[in-house]
Amino acid sequence: MSEPFLAADGVTVRFGGLTAVDSVSVVADRGETVGIIGPNGAGKTTLFGALCGSVPAEGTVRVEGQDAGTWAPHRRARAGLTRTFQQRELFGSLTVRDNLLFATEAAALGQRPMRLARRHAYRQPDKADATIELLGLQGCAGMLAGSLPGGLARLVEIGRALCTDPALVLLDEPSSGLDNDETAQLVDRLRAAAAACGCGLLLVEHDMSVVNALCERLYVLDFGSCIASGPTAEVLASAEVREAYLGDLGAA
Ligand SMILES: Nc1ncnc2c1ncn2[C@@H]1O[C@H](COP(=O)(O)OP(=O)(O)O)[C@@H](O)[C@H]1O
Ligand SMILES: [Mg+2]
């Protein structure tokens, strides 16, 4: 049986005396949507950093069956492990379409780094336009990314990740700052995009409506440790999880 695309085992991150992530193991594969939930400060963003290689960590991270523990973030991204950030990271003075074109160019150049001089040749307009359609961004494709309201800007970030042909996209709180309508739209678009691309999604999310609508499985972090994992309904019904997290949110 082949290994899942991402298989991390015993991931531990220390900041001085603080163990922000404590021996956490995570697997995620193409075609599935997996959630990571937990209170603020539980270590979710730090875990993403460790998986992507931007935060030094102990433990093992395997990507497509290979030991990726020493790989720099760009090498993990080239292998298909792509992330979006909690803070917006768009090029605000470029149009939406140019943001996506740039992503196709960067991804293609990443496979052929010696071709920098002819970099525009690596732009893939078809892929950018297909992504615009997939995410329903046709109406704002020519607008500056910096001028977009939060919900659309979030979709453009996701579009940029999709333009790199990812196997697994890590999304850090994609619904943060969005209103109810924008969140419902995000859920629909994410579901459609993941189905069309065949990629997996690993998402850190606070909004239980998003978690329930999208995630098949969950991991729950609390004080850096994974206190529960399994199918979404089972995990959310667990007394320990409700006490650690859901109780303090007043969520169902
Ligand atoms: N660069 C850093 N240096 C020191 N402590 C950090 C750093 N990044 C995060 N932390 C701490 O690690 C813990 C986990 O943070 P974080 O991963 O951001 O949590 P979450 O994303 O679950 O809210 C917190 O106590 C936070 O203050
Ligand atoms: Mg965070």
Residue 212 has pLDDT above 80, yes or no: yes
Q: Residue 49 CA: which ligand 1 atom is closest?
A: 17
166 CB near ligand 1 (under 6 Å): no
Q: Collect all residues with Cβ–Cβ distance below 8 Å to 118 and sequence separation of at least 6.
A: none
- Token pair in block for residue 25: 């193991």
| pLDDT, tens digit (0-9, with 9 covering 90-100), for 48-66 | 999 999 999 999 999 999 9
Give the pLDDT of residue 252. Answer: 41
C-alpha 39 to ligand 2 mean position (Å): 9
Strand-pair partners of 33: 201
Long-range contact set of residues 173-177: C-beta below 8 Å, sequence gap at least 24: 173/86, 173/204, 173/205, 173/206, 174/84, 174/203, 174/205, 174/210, 175/205, 175/206, 175/207, 175/210, 176/86, 176/206, 177/150
Give the pLDDT of residue 120. Answer: 66
| pLDDT, tens digit (0-9, with 9 covering 90-100), for 117-171 | 556 666 788 999 999 999 999 999 999 999 999 899 999 999 999 998 899 999 9
Residue of 21, 24, 46 best suited for mutating to test ligand 1, as the one with most atoms within 8 Å of CB:
46
Rounded to an integer, what distance in angstroms lies between the CA atom of residue 248 and that of residue 242?
Answer: 8
| 172 in Cβ contact with 84 (< 8 Å) | yes
Give the pLDDT of residue 250. Answer: 46
Walk me through the domains of the chain, giving residue ranges and CATH numbers.
Answer: 1-80+167-252 (3.40.50.300), 90-165 (no CATH)
Give the pLDDT of residue 1. Answer: 62
Residue 11 has pLDDT above 50, yes or no: yes
Give the pLDDT of residue 84. Answer: 84
For residue 33, which of 184, 193, 164, 194 has the smallest C-alpha distance?
194
Q: Residue 40 CA: which ligand 1 atom is closest?
A: 23
Q: Rounded to two decimals, what is the model's pTM?
A: 0.91
41 CB near ligand 1 (under 6 Å): yes
Residue with CA closest to ligand 1 atom 6: 15
C-alpha 128 to ligand 1 mean position (Å): 34
Mean pLDDT of 108-122: 60
Give the pLDDT of residue 106. Answer: 76
